[in-house]
Amino acid sequence: MAFVLFAARLFHLISKYAVNIFFSDQWEFNDATLFQKHTIWQMFAWQHGQHRQGLSALFSKLVEPHLGWNSRTESFIAGGIIVAAAACALWLRRRLGGALSFSDLVIPAVFFTPAQWETLVGTPNFAHGPFPLLLIVLYCLAWTSTKKEARYPLVLLINFVSIYTGFGLFVGLLTPILLFLDNRSNAVESRLPRIWFAGSLLVSLASLGSFFIGYRFIEDLSCFSLRPTSFRSYVGFMGLMFANFFAIRGTGLLPRTTGIIILVVLVASLATAVWRLLRRRQALNMPWPDQKRLRITTALIAYCLLFCMNTAYGRSCAGWLAARSSRYAIYLDLGMLGFYFHLLGIRRDRARKWLLAALLAPVFLASLHVDRRSMDRMREVKHTWKACYFQTEDINKCDQAVGVPLFGRAPERAHLQEKLQYLKNTRQNLYLDSK
């Protein structure tokens, strides 16, 4: 019931705030599938910013032509992908052992958090959030398979697709490590033969290496420098990302300190899981469900922290406010899920119950917070720009009238005028609503 209520609230917000018009980066990454003609591989490997479009591009090319490239429909589909990921997370919870309990409210509360609103109604991109979320959970499910013949091929397949789909690429760094931990913690009779283990490692490394073939380094921010700056600023930035996830507003000392505490707790949980897997004697005597849980905890928390570190490295030069971007929240879902699984593994009943309650309470309270002011502003900008353009067909005039540009950079860079004319001629996207 809670799952249904949280999901219904998510779709209600989408229905209220989604507007049918491409916005910002959508005018660029849709070159792969809509505005230009490309092969299946070119669409799959299409680079947008730091990442590639991967499965998102193929899915969009398959589905969206039948929907007129309707941005509102895209938002609902993105919500549907998140619902699928949450359902898979509950399935993962069951596969890790034990019946579902009251504390499992953490899962829908985290996955359906309104903190990720921009992923849904701001600049929806299936590759930036929704599909990586689903793929990482499926990746974890693959690790829970008891049959080696299924487990490793599934892990390697999902690993490859994830590397090419948005920021799922960080899985590529984790898979060789997880393969090593898996091999070390298993009894000899349960391990892969050496040649198959070496082959799996080679395939995982080759998958990651293939990502960089033809890769272009793109600076999204003029202030960015490859040279690392202050470690302290990176930690503070990551702390604010977690504080924002828990609806702790502002960028002052309290939000930063609270977020850093959450960050330290996650790092400690990850270190504990890895340490237990590395202690071979303990790992060999460990029940299979506990081994599974430790691997999944490691994968989820490590992925979340890798994303946060990358974001801090690339975005901290823009200031503390950049850490509060709604687009990042969906990746923190995975870290919270990993931490929840870590708490489920605590043996002492009383300690486990108190710690689960200590997690559930702030997660639930944070899930009640909706940034309606920002969402109202985004909806108003899109509606006003769309109405203006229907009247004037003047990009610059509408940008000035609204006060927020539709694209964010020079319209000529994305050939915005030509694309708007193409949509008009084919009656797609915003022109589905024109009279």
Q: How many structural domains compose the chain?
A: 2
Reading the block at residue 221, the tokens are: 């921010």
Specify whether 111 is located in the same domain as 260: yes
User: According to the model, what pLDDT value does residue 234 have?
Assistant: 92
User: According to the model, what pLDDT value does residue 190 have?
Assistant: 63
Please check whether residue 223 lies inside any domain of the structure: no
Please check whether residue 74 lies inside any domain of the structure: no
Would you call 229 helix, strand, or coil by DSSP? coil
Read off the pLDDT of each residue in 12-26 and give the average, rounded to a whole number. Answer: 94
Specify whether 411 is located in the same domain as 271: no
Residues 6+ apart with CB under 8 A from 257: 239
pLDDT digits (tens, 9 = 90+) for 350-361: 999 999 999 999
pLDDT digits (tens, 9 = 90+) for 190-213: 677 788 889 999 999 999 999 999
Cα 128 off chain centre by = 6
Angle at the Cα of 249 (from 245 to 252), degrees rounded to 5? 115
Specify whether 261 is located in the same domain as 115: yes
d(CA 322, CA 251): 10
Please check whether residue 413 lies inside any domain of the structure: yes
Reading the block at residue 227, the tokens are: 């040279």
Please check whether residue 110 lies inside any domain of the structure: yes
Specify whether 93 is located in the same domain as 119: yes
Question: Which helix (H) or strand (E) element contains residue 226?
Answer: none
Among residues 413, 188, 217, 225, which one has the least CA distance to residue 316? 225
| 52: β partners | 47
Specify whether 176 is located in the same domain as 60: no
Please check whether residue 412 lies inside any domain of the structure: yes
Which of 46-50, 54-58, 114-118, 217-221 shows the lowest per-residue confidence on average (mean pLDDT)?
A: 217-221
Residues 6+ apart with CB under 8 A from 157: none
d(CA 166, CA 307): 11
List, as one string, the DSSP characters of 350-392: HHHHHHHHHHHHHHHHHHT---HHHHHHHHHHHHHHHHHHHHH
- Give the residue from 353, 370, 387 where a domain finishes: 370
Task: Specify the amino acid at residue 299.
Answer: A
Contact 333, 298 (CB under 8 A): no
pLDDT digits (tens, 9 = 90+) for 385-414: 999 999 999 999 999 999 999 987 777 888
Specify whether 153 is located in the same domain as 183: yes
d(CA 164, CA 25): 18
pLDDT digits (tens, 9 = 90+) for 106-116: 999 999 999 99
pLDDT category at 144 given cuts 50, 70, 90 is very high
Specify whether 146 is located in the same domain as 289: yes
Which of 17-26, 216-225, 388-397 shows the lowest per-residue confidence on average (mean pLDDT)?
A: 216-225
The H-assigned helical ranges of 212-252 are 231-245
Return phi, psi of residue 8, to 5°: -65, -40
Please check whether residue 5 lies inside any domain of the structure: no
**Which tops the pLDDT comparison, 59 or 220?**
59
Taking the CB of residue 197, how many other CB atoms lie within 10 A of it?
A: 16
- Give the residue from 370, 389, 407 where a domain finishes: 370
- Give the residue from 346, 370, 394 where a domain finishes: 370
First-to-last CA distance in the chain? 41
Specify whether 189 is located in the same domain as 276: yes
Please check whether residue 8 lies inside any domain of the structure: no
Read off the pLDDT of each residue in 150-173 and give the average, rounded to a whole number. Answer: 95
Specify whether 272 is located in the same domain as 186: yes
Which of 113-117, 145-149, 235-239 shows the lowest per-residue confidence on average (mean pLDDT)?
A: 145-149
| 51: β partners | 48
Mean pLDDT of the chain: 91
* pTM score of the predicted model: 0.93
Task: Specify the amino acid at residue 432.
Answer: L
d(CA 154, CA 140): 10
**Which tops the pLDDT comparison, 2 or 125?**
125
Supply the range of the domain harboring residue 309.
Answer: 80-207+228-370
Return phi, psi of residue 209, to 5°: -65, -35
Specify whether 356 is located in the same domain as 382: no
DSSP state of 427: T
pLDDT digits (tens, 9 = 90+) for 64-97: 999 999 999 999 999 999 999 999 999 999 999 8
Specify whether 317 is located in the same domain as 288: yes
Among residues 265, 334, 329, 253, which one has the least CA distance to residue 301? 334
Instruction: Evaluate if residue 20 carries a pLDDT over 90.
Output: yes
Instruction: Evaluate if residue 126 carries a pLDDT over 60.
Output: yes
pLDDT digits (tens, 9 = 90+) for 260-307: 999 999 999 999 999 988 876 565 666 767 788 999 999 999 999 999
Reading the block at residue 213, the tokens are: 């073939």
pLDDT category at 62 given cuts 50, 70, 90 is very high
Please check whether residue 420 lies inside any domain of the structure: yes
d(CA 351, CA 359): 12
Instruction: Evaluate if residue 51 carries a pLDDT over 70.
Output: yes
Angle at the Cα of 333 (from 327 to 335), degrees rounded to 5? 120
User: According to the model, what pLDDT value does residue 94 have?
Assistant: 92
**Which tops the pLDDT comparison, 434 or 80?**
80
Specify whether 46 is located in the same domain as 143: no
User: According to the model, what pLDDT value does residue 281 have?
Assistant: 59
CA distances from 118 to 79, 200, 255, 352, 412 (A): 12, 37, 21, 34, 25
